[in-house]
Amino acid sequence: MRDRGIYLLPNLFTTGALFAGFYAVVQAMNGRFEHAAVAILIAMVLDGLDGRVARMTHTQSAFGAEYDSLSDMVSFGVAPALVIYVFALQSLGKFGWIAAFVYCAGAALRLARFNTQLDTVTDKRFFQGMPSPAAAALIAGFVWIMVEYGVDGHDVRWLAAAIALFGGLTMVSNFRYYSGKEINLRKSVPFFVILLVVLAFILVSTSPPEVLFGVFLLYGLSGYGDALLRLVRRKKTAKATALLPGDEK
């Protein structure tokens, strides 16, 4: 019987993401929160690449999928929870570690739900609940921006707890979040798309903490906005249906 090997290329990216998550924890324990935040963001980039590389090179495997999920739990579940706990939540006592645990548990539940629904999801354009990498980037962006402006974690402990709870609960919500899975990097695009990409790089490079935190905060709120818009549309449709001619008694 032929041995089934492990594809090296996509799993290298997954290992890189796992290492970045572990590095974030180590740096947080040493009080280097800026390094920890950047490491989580690097893990997010590597996590986004491993799946695309596997699909482009036709090297998908069951091992890679399981390995990626375990790596995500470390990099986007445990690492952000510990980073924000050490940075700001310790002084809140019991409530602080509960807020951090809610985030960590939310990431675990989000990943478990995602894995069990892979074969049943019909609309690939949207995720159910906020993706764990985006929630982790929100935590990392918050910590990074506080460090950048010299704000002590103790002074923003309640805001940090609110962000941790927001991230954890939003991950297990039923709100829709744009996935971007229909974007095909192998297809040609108009010139203005390349121009927008260049402008995005310039914008991020001018002030990375503020821009990244703002982007992921807006993304986190987009699910709530989408749910509100769909609720308004349903009410309008129900109202229009109720007012159709011939329905009066």
Helix (H) or strand (E) holding 150: none
pTM for this model (two decimals)? 0.86
Question: To 10 degrees, the CA torsion angle through 44, 210, 103, 122?
Answer: -50
In a domain, 230, yes or no: yes
In a domain, 246, yes or no: no
pLDDT at 245 (0 to 100): 62
Region 34-40 average pLDDT: 95
Q: What domain range is 30 assigned to? A: 8-241
pLDDT at 135 (0 to 100): 95
In a domain, 248, yes or no: no
Mean residue pLDDT across the chain: 87
Q: How far apart are CA 238 and CA 232, in angstroms?
A: 10
In a domain, 228, yes or no: yes
Tell me, what CATH number does 140's domain have? 1.20.120.1760
Q: Residue 70 corresponds to which tokens in the numbers above?
A: 């375990």
> Predicted confidence band at 241 (pLDDT cuts at 50, 70, 90)?
confident
**134 and 177 in contact (C-beta within 8 Å)?**
yes
What number of other Cβ atoms are within 10 A of residue 6's Cβ?
Answer: 11
> Predicted confidence band at 99 (pLDDT cuts at 50, 70, 90)?
very high
In a domain, 2, yes or no: no
In a domain, 118, yes or no: yes
> Predicted confidence band at 186 (pLDDT cuts at 50, 70, 90)?
low
In a domain, 249, yes or no: no
Number of domains the chain is built from: 1
> Predicted confidence band at 249 (pLDDT cuts at 50, 70, 90)?
very low
In a domain, 174, yes or no: yes
Phi, psi of 154 (to 5 degrees): -60, -35
pLDDT at 130 (0 to 100): 94
Q: Tell the residue number behind the tokens 């739990």, with chain if given.
A: 73
Residues 6+ apart with CB under 8 A from 109: 171, 172
